[in-house]
Amino acid sequence: MEEVVEVCEPGEVRIEFALNCKCRGTVRLRSLTQRAPVAFKIQTSSPNKFLVNPPTGLIPPLSFATFQVILKPQSHLPRSYPRSPSDRFLVKTAEFTANSSGSDSINSWFASRPYTRDIKLKVAFVGPLLLNDAVTRGDLDAVRNLIKRQRSMLPDFSGTQAESLLAAATKLRNPEDMVHLLLEAGLRIIPSPKAPDTNVGEAIVEAARNGKVGEVETLLGMGSVKYRDQYGLTALHAAAFKGKKDVVLLLSELVGVDLECEDDEGHAPLHMAVQSGDIDTVQVLLQKGVNLNAVNKKGATPLYMATIWGYHHISQLLASKGAIYSSTSS
């Protein structure tokens, strides 16, 4: 039986976890058929733990539908995360041929239908609370998998959050690997923010980080693209790290922009683009002829970083251009 529905990215039920409150995650479904609407019905292995809204529905041909998973308030952290081995969802799907589209009729229709196309979904719990717990316990795998699912989480931490997380990491018996992972993933200790508009350079970096092309263009008429923040980051670094391809393209074409500029940790914009996981942003810099084998202060090349983060599509692209894995590669 051919597939009639696909689950859009991220392809799992992803829930930002918090204690003692309802937590939500949204799943988006896409119809793959133009012949008829597709009926869906959601079932869970943990009905006492999750609610689903709506539990059934119809997807118009070649269109989309969403359902929300609600985690009931929990007084304890998950036993295992990000992936939960005991919590699963089943999405039953089939082309809908009944005359009525009410939810009762969909349930009855599924009950009488001998064949359905079923999609299994796993559950992943994410969020700052779990990240802090994983760091405190020294669980590198859990930290790495949490960050992969929420790449912007660490860079978006407030100064207080960042200081607290780094403090937890430094208290570990062997803190080096954890601290290195957090810093490579974008954790930065940030002082209290200044009042808005006090520094055009800061505004340019922030607009670049948020992918606001028009705002960047406007601000560049008032300040310098060469501005660096307290960590040596330029607007190009910030846009590359967030995978803001259009801003990277804009900045890379400006006169006077150093495409090989390094922040205080020796990261070139290509390092940052690799960390974003966005291959289009990486390609923009490669097309500008940047150094494939730039090395940060820890000796990491862009190909090395793409490999350790599991970005195989980026690794393949860099390798095809002649990139080396490390500064000691022959």
pLDDT of residue 195: 39
Helix axes 176-184, 159-170, angle to 10 degrees: 150
Q: What is the pTM of this model?
A: 0.58
pLDDT digits (tens, 9 = 90+) for 278-321: 999 999 999 999 999 999 999 999 999 999 999 999 999 999 99
Q: Which of 46, 23, 6, 43 is nearest to 125 (CA)?
A: 23
Query: What percent of the chain is predicted at pLDDT more than 90?
Result: 66
CATH says 5-125 is which class? mainly beta
Whole-number Å distance between alpha carbons of 163 and 140: 19
Is residue 96's pLDDT more than 50? yes
pLDDT at residue 115, rounded to an integer: 86
Mind listing the pLDDT tens digit for each residue in 178-187? 988 998 888 8
pLDDT at 256: 80
- Dihedrals φ, ψ of 82, to 5°? -65, -40
Backbone φ and ψ for 103, nearest 5 degrees, come out as -65, -35
Top-tier CATH class for 200-320: mainly alpha
Please give the backbone phi and psi of residue 75, each rounded to the nearest 5 degrees, phi first. Answer: -95, -5
Q: What is the pLDDT of residue 322?
A: 92
In DSSP terms, 117 is beta-bridged to: 93
Q: Answer yes or no: are the C-beta atoms of 303 and 323 closer than 8 Å.
A: yes
Per-residue pLDDT, averaged over 149-176, amounts to 87
Where do the structural domains in the chain lie, given as residue ranges?
Answer: 5-125, 129-184, 200-320
pLDDT reported for residue 212: 87
